[in-house]
Amino acid sequence: MTRAAEAWMRGAGPVAVLKVLDQRPMYGYELAEALDAQSGGVLALGHSTLYPLLYKLERQGLIAQSESRLESGRTRKYYTTTATGKERLRQHELEWSGLVEAMGKLGLT
Amino acid sequence: MSPLPSDLLALIEQVVSSAGLDKSAGDEVRRDLTDYFADGLAAGRTAEELIARFGPPGEAARRFRKGVRPPERERRVIPTGASRLEALARDVRSALRRIAKTPVTSLAVIVVLALGVGTSVVVYSIVNVMLLEPLPVEEPGSLVDVWPDIPGGNSFLGISWSDYRTYRESGILDELAAFSGVVASWGDEADGSSIRATLATPSYLNMLGITPALGSVTFPAEAPFGDVAGVVVTHDFWRASLGGADDVIGSTVRIGGHAMPVIGVSQPGFTGHFIGFPTEAFLPVSAAPLFISDFDAADRTQKFFEMIGRAPENRSAADLQVALNGVAAQIEADFPEINRGHRLGVTPTTGVDHSLYTGVVVFAVILSTLSLLVLVIACLNVGGILLVRGLSRDREVAIRLALGAGRGTLIRQMMAESFVLVSIGTLAGALLASQANAWLSGWMLALSDGQIGFVIDIDGRVLALTIASAVLAALVASGAPALHLLRKDPATALQARSASGRSSTRTRSVLVVGQVAVSVVLTVAAGLFGRTLLVGAQLDPGFDADGVSSFVLDLDPDRVDEADRWTVTTSIVQAVENLPGIRGAAWSTSPPLEVARTPTDLVVPGVDPPPGLDRHVVDSRRAGPGYFAAAGLTLLQGRDLSTGDAQGSPTAVVNRAFLDRFGPSVQVGSTVEVDGVPVTVVGVAGNARYLLQDETPDPLMVLSSDQLPVRARVIYSAEEGYDVSTLSGAVQAAVLAAVPSHPRIAPRTARTRLLDALLPQRAAALLVGAMGVMAVVLAGIGLYGLIQFTVTRDLPELGVRVALGAERADLMRVVLSRGAWLVLVGIGAGLGLSLLTARGLTALLPGVSPFDPITYASVLAVFTAIALLASWFPAARAARTHPTEALRES
């Protein structure tokens, strides 16, 4: 991945996480898989970046986590977008669609 | 759980160690990554695949090093295997945490519940003491009150000693005791303290099964009149006034100026068998001559005693009444002059005078109903608050449901929180109630000049009942929102938040309308009682109630020789009359406004007595010269009682109503026969309210007399420009000049007596008024909560309105009108309900219509004001809304 591509991804990562979590609460692995699958592999951004990203989003109050105990006795952490997270997502969506539209007008579809 | 493959574990350790995290953050990361890989393996990936997809471990370490650390989290694990007790403890702890997180809401719930529960506990305590709790005596169920049933008569009149003996000897009852209440000076007479004592036959304490706490409670049987073997003091009095010392037995006390030994202290908790009128000491009936002037045990016209008896097994009160009236008929036949129409009533002993019992029951029912309404309002309110609280957790609940938390667990946790809140509120209510009970007891005591003393204890049963109902009601109220949330599917809960807000607003609206309606009913009741007080206090008794005062002149034989009584009284009256500022003074047997009647036999030549009787019965009192002038009563014809009247043949001044009744047969100069003695009518006075209970004045005679009672009343009035209450000191000095050992006098104006006579109405107004105020406050809180809630919910809409150019005034109008509608519906329902139920209060509202328009209009005004006030703040907040701010809130 080029430096530029990396920069794009850094910008897209949080939005993508918020977007995916906006559908329903997910646990870490599930989220990683969903990002991978739903972005057609484009956003398979190396899962090593996922947890730091999740922690960061949680600290910013954009996502929240809760725990549930599985049949096996193991606990599993679920992440979900908060109201602030939803609002941020909405802003980003507007920005993205504006950007995509602008790019489209430039012929970059 | 099986451990991860070693290469995955190594990867995790590499990330953690090269990130240089501290222990807790490292553990957190380790845990998360372990879960992550475990989930991956469970999804069917191999360790190699997972390592490849993870990407370079250095990348993660670098980010962590850059300061991206796992947030410190509260560990919340939903238990599955933990014991129920542990789970409960955890629920309570977490409930306390949540409560602390929303202090305002929590405080509102606690305050509202404390008010509701406190009111109920106070009211049910009173009702319990008055009506439900058995008297603290042996087998109260078989005790009966035996009372003279005088046609058209006076329930305050008793039984003569000789008649009592006859009834007792008939053996119809297993036991029959006689007693009489007296108020006498206590200790050193000059310091003016008094004691409420009961003169009683030895059978009295014995029959009630009273045991001694110290010494003995048995008076010697058949002691001759005039002998005082000793006094039994109540446990309360012993503790309060005798210091609770063990060596009290045999010590000497002074009651009514007479020294007597204490022979015993009665069992704790017993203060006589009348509830609310505690006695402090029991004296043997043989002491009667020391306390009742001119007492003559053989004189059947001296009806000083009351009776209480023990019914034989399996004999009803009605049965006994028939049997005792056989004896009564015999007494009437033997002494027709004295005991004409003499009959007895027999009713089970309740601790409340038989003539008041029905009224007390009615009032108790009304009071209980009203307090139940307050509790209902409080619960509706708590329900409303908890509903909103529950809704704000809508999302959280939905997430937890999505995560697989059991609905049962969630309900349990919500209930735990409500339960903890309700418990705190109820406890606060109980504390409030015990404080209020103390205030109430003290207030009653002060108001009644120490005669009415309630010991309103919070009965365990009352408390348990109230707490149970409060907890149940509050749990039902909080359970509703819990179920409301849990019914829904998590996905819709997450998405359709505003819709749920709307449906719950409907629920809350219903709650608020209900509260307002119930509050209106309460406030109307409170208002009606308040109006009764106002009407009573402003009532024109036919004379200047503020300018006339009276006090008791206590010329005990120990103090003033009987032979000198007339001279001393006359000189005192004269001295008082000569004081600057005093218009007139006179003695009388009754104060200007008297509660008790003195029925007197009357024969009017030419006027037939009512059917079945051979004479008329009218009310009378005896008085000295210048009585009408002293009391400020108008004379229509003839003259006032004069100095010469007492010495010559008896004279009387009658009132206008007397003349109306007996028509032309009576006029100034006519002679009527009073108790067999001819009396000349010398004057006619205007009608005045002589008797407090009277709506229309009854015929009354004021008779001259050469006989002075030991305790006559001195009545005096102030000249124009003088305040009668400021003259008390001078009057006291005049009394002391004539009788240096006289106790401190306590003059009271007719207005004060009038207010005191309205004591039941005042007590009712106070209690109902307090509940009314509480209802208004609670309804205000409820309304405020609702409007605040809808404003928060509708903020985006309001923001749009602002964005579209709405003025602040428009926003205010929108919000205010929402509150106004609810209140209007509530007020309408409440007023309708009040009109339907107010008729039941008629008996308790002398002088005021249960449909009193002023009361209804005031309530309407108060609630409109409350509605405006409760809506104003949220509305003002809405009006300040900036559109962008409002939109962001969404």
Cross-chain Cβ contact A46/B68 below 8 Å:
no
Reported as a pLDDT band with limits 50, 70 and 90, residue B694 is very low
Nearest to A59 among B59, B71, B79 (CB): B71
Nearest to A68 among B68, B71, B404 (CB): B404
Measured between alpha carbons, how far is B168 from B152 in angstroms, rounded to an integer? 26
B231-233/B281-284 β-pairing: antiparallel
Identify the CA nearest to B721 among candidates B556, B534, B546, B471. Answer: B546
Contact A46 B57 (CB under 8 A): no
- Tell me which chain B residue has its CA closest to the CA of residue A29: B36
Calculate how close chain A gets to B22, using CA atoms only, in Å: 15
pTM above 0.80, yes or no: no
Give chain A's radius of gyration (CA, Å): 15
Q: What token pair was written down for B187?
A: 């200790």
Q: Report the chain B residue with the minimal C-alpha distance to residue A70.
A: B404
The answer to whether A69 contacts B55, with C-beta atoms less than 8 Å apart, is: no
> Among partner residues A30, A59, A74, which is closest to B1 by beta-carbon distance?
A74
| Section B706-714 average pLDDT | 80
**Residue B148 host element (H or E):** strand B143-148
Q: Is the pLDDT score of B2 beyond 70? A: no
Is residue B172 classed as helix, strand or coil in its secondary structure?
coil
B488 pLDDT exceeds 70? Answer: no
List the single residue in B53, B63, B399 with the smallest CB-CB distance to A47: B53
Please state, in angstroms and rounded to a whole number, the distance separating the CA atoms of residues B533 and B551: 25
DSSP state of B746: -
Condensed to tens digits (0 to 9), the pLDDT of residues B811-848 reads 788 778 877 787 888 889 999 988 888 877 776 777 77
Measured in whole angstroms, the distance separating CA B644 from the mean position of its chain's CA atoms is 51
Q: How many residues does chain B have?
A: 890
The b-or-e profile of B790-812 (16+ CB within 10 A means b, else e) is bbebbbbebbebbeeebeeeebb
Q: Are B13 and B31 in contact (CB under 8 A)?
A: no
Query: Is residue B875 within 8 Å of residue B787, measured between CB atoms?
Result: yes
For residues B41 and B4, the answer to whether their CB atoms sit within 8 Å is yes
DSSP string spanning B278-311? Answer: ---EEEEGGGHHHHSTT--TT-TT---BEEEEEP
Furthest CA-CA distance within chain A: 55
User: Taking CB atoms and an 8 Å limit, are B73 and A65 in contact across chains?
Assistant: yes
C-alpha closest to that of B371 among B872, B850, B770, B864: B770
**Other residues' Cβ atoms within 10 Å of the Cβ of residue B313:** 6
pLDDT band at B199 (very low <50, low <70, confident <90, very high): very high
User: Would an 8 Å CB–CB cutoff place B76 in contact with chain A?
Assistant: yes
Categorize the per-residue pLDDT at B751 as very low, low, confident or very high, splitting at 50, 70 and 90: confident
Contact state of A66 with B57 under an 8 Å Cβ cutoff:
no
- CA–CA distance, B215 with B227 (Å, rounded to integer): 20
B192 contact partners, CB below 8 Å, separation of at least 6: B185, B743, B744, B746
pLDDT for the residue B571: 92
What span, in angstroms and rounded, lies between the C-alpha atoms of B292 and A98?
106
With contacts defined as CB-CB under 8 Å, which chain A residues touch B35?
27-29, 74-77
In whole angstroms, give the CA distance from residue B755 to residue B446.
13
Local structure of B97: helix, strand or coil: helix
Mutate to test the interface with B, among A23, A62, A67, A88 (most CBs of B within 10 A): A67
- Token look-up 């809140």 returns B421
A40 phi-psi bin (left φ>0, alpha ψ -120 to 50, beta other) = left
Indicate if the pLDDT at residue B519 is higher than 90.
Answer: no
Q: A29 and B39: CB-CB below 8 Å?
A: yes
Residue of chain A minimizing CA distance to B80: A69
Please list, residue by residue across A36-71, b when 16 or more beta carbons sit within 10 angstroms of its beta carbon and e when fewer do. beeeeeebebbbbbbbbbbbbbbeeebbbbbbbbee
Give, in order, the Cα–Cα distances in Å from B218 to each of B165, B205, B258, B765, B769.
19, 7, 20, 43, 46
Mean pLDDT, residues B436-442: 79
| C-alpha B82, offset from chain centre | 49
Classified as helix, coil or strand, B623 is: strand
Chain B residue numbers touching A46 (CB-CB < 8 A): 53-56, 59
Mutate to test the interface with A, among B68, B77, B497, B795 (most CBs of A within 10 A): B68
In the structure, what pLDDT confidence band is assigned to residue B169 with cuts at 50, 70 and 90? Answer: very high
Stretch B128-137: mean pLDDT, rounded? Answer: 81
CA A25 to chain CA centroid, Å, is 12
Chain A contact probe: residue of B53, B401, B410, B413 with most A CBs at under 10 A? B53
Taking the Cβ of residue B186 and every Cβ of chain A, the question of whether any pair is shorter than 8 Å is answered with no
Q: Is B890 exposed, middle or buried (0-12, 13-18, 19+ CB in 10 A)?
A: middle
State which residue of chain A sits closest to B403, comparing Cα positions: A68
What are the pLDDT digits (tens) for B247-278? 899 899 988 878 899 999 999 988 888 887 78
Q: Quick check: B403 and A78 CB within 8 A?
A: yes
Partners of residue A66 on adjacent β-strands: A78
Spacing of C-alpha B741 from chain mean position: 40
Give me the mean pLDDT over the B851-866 stretch: 89
State whether residue B584 is helix, strand or coil: strand
List of E strands, B639-765? 651-655, 671-674, 677-685, 700-704, 711-718, 748-749
**Interface predicted TM-score of the whole assembly (ipTM), two decimals:** 0.83
pLDDT in tens, A37-73: 887 776 666 667 788 888 888 888 889 888 777 766 6
Tokens coding B828: 């309408």
Highest mean pLDDT among A52-61, B207-216, B632-641: B207-216
Instruction: Give the mean pLDDT of chain B.
Output: 80
The residues near B137 (Cβ < 8 Å, ≥ 6 apart) are B143, B208, B209, B210, B270, B273
CA distance B82 to chain A (A): 12
Chains A and B: how many Cβ contacts under 8 Å?
102
CA distance B855 to B13: 80
Q: DSSP letters along B216-248, please?
A: --PPPTTPPTT----EEE-HHHHHHHSTT-GGG
Distance CA B501, CA B748 (A): 63
Residue B69, chain A, CB below 8 Å: the answer is yes
Q: Which of B36, B64, B73 sits opposite A52 (nearest CB)?
A: B64
Range with lowest mean pLDDT among B191-205, B477-491, B789-803: B477-491
Distance, in Å, from the CA atom of B197 to the CA atom of B280, rounded to the nearest integer, reads 6
How do strand B175-185 and strand B548-554 relate by DSSP bridges? Answer: unpaired
Q: Which two tokens stand for residue B306?
A: 């009351």
pLDDT band at B155 (very low <50, low <70, confident <90, very high): very low
Q: Is B487 exposed, middle or buried (0-12, 13-18, 19+ CB in 10 A)?
A: exposed
- Touching check for B405 and chain A: CB below 8 Å? yes
Q: Specify whether the CB–CB gap between B799 and B877 falls below 8 A.
A: no
Helix axes of B394-402 and B460-487: crossing angle, nearest 10 degrees: 70
- C-alpha distance across the termini of chain B, in Å: 43
How crowded is the C-beta side of A1, counted as CA atoms within 13 Å? Answer: 14
A3, two tokens: 């430096």
Higher pLDDT, B33 or B70: B33
The answer to whether the CB atoms of B53 and A44 lie below 8 A apart is yes
Cα–Cα distance for residue pair B157/B304, rounded to 1 Å: 7
In Å, the largest CA–CA distance within chain B is 134
Question: Cα distance from A47 to chain B (closest Cα, Å)?
Answer: 4
Put simply, the answer to whether A32 touches B36 (Cβ < 8 Å) is yes
| Distance set, CA B50 to CA A53, B47, B321, B337, B366 (Å) | 18, 5, 101, 119, 77
Q: Is B402–A25 a contact, with Cβ atoms under 8 angstroms apart?
A: yes
Length of chain A: 109
